[in-house]
Chains A and B, each alone.
Chain A
Amino acid sequence: MTVRLQTEGRVSEGTLLEIADVKTHFRTERGLVRAVDGVTFSLERGKALGIVGESGSGKTVLSRTIMGLLPSTAVLSGSVRFAGQEILGLDARQMRHLWGSEMSMVFQNPMVSLNPLMKIGKQIIEPLQIHLGMDKTNAVATAERLLRDVRIPEPEKRLGQFPHELSGGMRQRVMIAIALACGPTLLFADEPTTALDVTVQAQILELIGEQRKDRNMSVILVTHDLGVVAGHTDEIAVMYGGRLVEKAPTRELFANMKMPYTKSLMRSIPKLEDPSHTRLLTIPGRPPDLVNPPKGCRFAPRCAYAREKCVQHEPPLIVSDTSSEHFYACWYPVGSPEFEERDVEIMTNVGVGGSA
């Protein structure tokens, strides 16, 4: 049974997902954990958005909030509009109509996400029968075609196999096939390649990109790896401490980074083109405690460029002078005189006291 959204026709052409001031908090013994704390953005149909952040940034919780995959302890507020319809706070029964046919997810660990006791074929065919009301023969044929789409050799044979008979990369391909089975308009990929080897990672990312183009599907790629998003997204959202701190089209972001956090993150990655033993710039300290987040900018305590104002007042998300689609939340962004003044000091000190 496919439930198409009745409101679909009314949305302005292009925008698929609009989220506004989304907050996801968890009640714990220690107090309220503000895992996601006021995030706003929208995503066009057919585009790929990368959500980048370290652990504790709220990137995973945000994607699960949109998917409606949170435990009941989560306290939600704000708005998530999918194809014009408000979906935040819908219960699992209502969300089930969207899962699979409208949005689906590829998870980090393909071994955990596949049912080890069920044959691959059944795991693909079942959602086809349930969501799309296909009969058995039709569903089997579709399943074979899906496996072929995700470049799995000998699909007829694979349908009869169990997950443990496949390699890690093959399992992730099966996961993608399952996620694609009902023709979703939005695909979440949560660290889809972190558990895979580097040569396999490239293949999987490329596969997701291909399928996106073929199906005019939107993709949200959640990852900690700036390298992964650079080549496989149209836009990037950088999260820190539950907040969106920078968002821009991918090329624009890499060309004109504004947020010192994004810049520092870039600089702390070892690069192949740098000679061996190049001193890495580090970000001292650790991510903020989301029960008691810092009063001002959440990155200020770790930011080498922070000043009094950063500690006192939280910077709003503002439009960059370089592009109207580029937003950042910083008082002294990269390029400002205050930033450059500190940066000169820091770059001359590299190799002396870099490890904090």
Chain B
Amino acid sequence: MSEIELVADEITNQDDASPEAELITRRLGWAFWLCVCWLVVIVLAAVLAPWLPLKDPNANLVNRDLGRPPYSPSSEFWFGSDQDARDVFSRTIFGARVSLTVGFVAIAFGMVIGGTLGILSGYFRGWWDRIISFAFVVLLSFPALVLAILITSLLDRGLMTISLTLGFLAIAPVGRLARATTIQYAEREFVVAARTLGARHPRIIIRELLPNVVIPMGALALLGMAVAIVAEGGLAFLGLSVQKEETWGKLILLGAGSRDLEKSPWISMAPIFILFLTVLALNFAGDKIRAYFDVKETAL
């Protein structure tokens, strides 16, 4: 009988056990911390790249003993070298600087604009809510790639242009989450209580709502950063990524010709691998954070 099975799933949440028993049923777990470690390492490496004992990423380190470049991975070139005898390892680290910046700036921009709009429309409702929600829907319906191509081909393809373009695309999904979460909390009694105690709107938004809305948004931010990094890679393939500096996307593209893939796969494999690990770590950590706080919510 269907209702029995339904309830069997649900029982873990409405347990009859003592009130505290369920509060800490799950932890973040070692896998989460592993992800965090990886992210810390990659961010530190990117930030400190100029001061680390890395080979010059742009130098042509031709080594007669090894023959014609590209060189395969060795103790000298950890990840091998590319066609111009440049060290793939140090290029990947330097590439992280741009890729991570793009991811971070994009999502920060999306969070600030989308989050603000979402919270305000979720809290005040009414006409502004209708207009903002409609704008979100329009943004979501617009083909993202076309928009990205449009902007990047019209403007100069600097770091900020790329970041803000991707950030612009993040506004609607972030905003909708912020709005939905705000609506959910705004109906709770503690918000009503704050109103009756004389708290003004800014205070309610900042003190009562923001701490609750920020958690699911933080989880989304990690996921969003991963999406932005991958999106940058996509733009690179269209030749629309950052013009000057190297990015992971551009590095992958460089080694992605069919002859190179066959003969010297390491040129694209190294950045692909690092990109994959980073995106995986971001996704996994984001997911864990969301699940962790979800559990606390159900326990409430």
Q: Give the shortest distance, in Å, between B12 (CB) and chain A (any CB).
A: 5
A125 interface contact, C-beta 8 A:
no
A353 within 8 A of B: no
Decide if A290 touches B2 in the complex (CB within 8 Å).
no
Q: Contact mask A14-48 → B, CB, 8 Å, 1/0?
A: 00000000000010111001010000000000000
Check if B22 is an interface residue, CB within 8 A of chain A: yes
Q: Given A60, A67, A115, A290, which contacts B18 in the complex, CB threshold below 8 Å?
A: A290
Q: Which residues of chain A are near B26, meaning CB under 8 Å? A: 29
1/0 per residue, CB under 8 A from A, across B1-36: the answer is: 111111110111011111111101111000000000
Name the residue of chain B whose CB is nearest to the CB of A70: B11
A33 near B21 (CB under 8 angstroms)?
yes
Question: CB-CB < 8 A to A73: which residues of B?
Answer: 12
Cβ contacts under 8 Å, A123 to chain B: 2
CB distance from A279 to the nearest CB of B (A): 27
Chain B: minimal CB distance from A225 (Å)? 15
B20 to chain A, nearest CB (A): 7
Chain B residue at smallest Cβ distance from A113: B3
**CA A61 – CA B8 in complex, angstroms?**
12
Complex formed: what's the CA distance from A55 to B10 in Å? Answer: 17
A9 lies within 8 A of chain B by Cβ: no
Judge if A218 is at the interface, Cβ distance under 8 Å.
Answer: no
Could you tell me the distance in whole angstroms from the C-beta of B272 to the nearest C-beta in chain A?
38
A150 at the interface (CB under 8 A from B): no
Q: Which residues of A lie under 8 Å from residue B27 when comparing CB positions?
A: 29
- Given the complex, which residues of A lie within 8 Å of B14, measured CB to CB? 60
Interface size on A, residues (CB 8 A): 40
Q: A58-B16, A61-B15 in contact; A28/B3 too (CB < 8 A)?
A: no
Contact (Cβ within 8 A) A59 B16: yes
- Contact present for A56 and B19 (CB under 8 Å): yes
Taking a contact as CB atoms under 8 Å apart, the answer to whether B16 and A26 are in contact is: no
Contact of A28 among B2, B4, B7, B22 (CB under 8 A): B22
| Interface set, chain B 133-157, CB cutoff 8 A to A | none
Q: Which residue of A lies closest to B22 (CB)?
A: A28
**A3 smallest CB distance to B (angstroms):** 14
The CA of A33 and the CA of B25, in the complex, are separated in Å by: 11
Distance in Å: Cβ of B54 to nearest Cβ of chain A = 43
**Which residues from chain A contact B11 at a C-beta distance below 8 Å?**
64, 69-71
The answer for the CA separation of A108 and B5 in the assembled complex, in Å, is 15
Contacting pair A100 B1 (CB below 8 A)? yes
Which residues on the B side are within 8 Å of A70 (C-beta)?
Answer: 8, 11
B6 x A60 contact (CB < 8 A): no
State whether B1 touches A33 (Cβ < 8 A). no
Contact A35 B15 (CB under 8 A): yes
- Give A164-194 as 1s and 0s: 1 = Cβ < 8 Å from B's Cβ atoms: 0000000000010010000000000000000
Task: Report the Cα distance A33→B20, complex, angstroms.
Answer: 10
Q: Is the CB of A33 within 8 A of B8?
A: no
Residue of B nearest to A101 (CB): B1
**Would you call A61 and B20 a contact (CB within 8 A)?**
no
Knowing A29-B25, A29-B27, A290-B21, the reply to whether A35 touches B4 (Cβ < 8 A) is no
| CB atoms of B16 and A28 under 8 A apart | no
**Chain B residue at minimum C-beta to C-beta distance from A62:** B16
Q: Check A71–B18 contact: CB distance below 8 A.
A: no
Query: Which residues in B have their C-beta under 8 angstroms from that of A71?
Result: 8, 11-12
Instruction: Decide: B1 and A178 in contact? CB cutoff 8 A.
Output: yes
**A100–B5 alpha-carbon span in the complex (Å):** 12
Residues of B contacting A55 with CB < 8 Å? Answer: 16, 19
The residue on A at minimum CB distance from B9 is A71
Given A28-B22, A28-B25, A105:B16 Cβ within 8 A: no
Distance in Å from the Cβ of B13 to the closest Cβ of chain A?
A: 10
Q: Which residues from A are CB-within-8-Å of B10? A: 112
Distance of A92 Cα from B24 Cα, bound (Å): 28
Asked whether A30 and B1 contact (CB < 8 A) given A56-B17, A290-B17, the answer is no
Query: Residue on A with the closest CB to B3?
Result: A113
Instruction: Report how far A113 CA is from B2 CA in the complex, Å.
Output: 9
Whether the pair B3, A114 counts as a contact (CB closer than 8 A) is yes
Q: Which chain B residues lie closer than 8 Å to A69 at the CB level?
A: 4, 7-8, 11
The reply to whether A28 and B6 form a contact with Cβ atoms under 8 Å apart is no
- A332 contacts B by Cβ under 8 Å: no
Chain B residue with Cβ nearest A110: B3
State the CA gap A113–B4 with chains docked (Å): 8
Identify the closest chain B residue to A55 (Cβ). B16
CB–CB A291/B8 < 8 A: no
The minimal Cβ–Cβ distance linking A183 to chain B, given in whole angstroms, is: 13
The chain B residue sitting closest to A25, CB to CB, is B17
Q: Does A89 contact B (CB under 8 A)?
A: no
Q: Given A114-B3, A115-B2, A178-B3, answer yes or no on A33-B24 (Cβ-Cβ < 8 Å).
A: no
| Residues of chain A lying within 8 A (CB to CB) of residue B20 | 30, 289
Q: Is the CB of A99 within 8 A of B7?
A: no
Residues of the B chain whose Cβ atoms lie less than 8 Å from the Cβ of A287:
18
- The reply to whether A289 and B18 contact each other, CB–CB distance below 8 Å, is yes
B18 CB, nearest partner CB in chain A, Å: 5
- Bound together, the chains give a CA A19 to CA B22 distance in angstroms of 27
B18 adjacent to A56 (CB under 8 Å) = yes
Residues of A within 8 A of B (CB): 26, 28-30, 33, 35, 55-61, 64, 67, 69-71, 73, 92, 99-100, 104-105, 107, 112-115, 123, 126-127, 175, 178, 286-291
Not counting A69-B8, A126-B2, A287-B18, a sample of 15 additional A-B residue pairs whose C-beta atoms are within 8 angstroms of each other reads: A28-B22, A29-B26, A33-B21, A55-B19, A56-B18, A56-B19, A61-B17, A92-B5, A105-B7, A107-B3, A112-B6, A113-B7, A175-B3, A290-B18, A291-B18
Which 9 pairs of residues, A with B, have the shortest CB-CB distance?
A60-B16, A33-B21, A290-B18, A61-B16, A56-B18, A35-B17, A33-B17, A113-B3, A29-B24
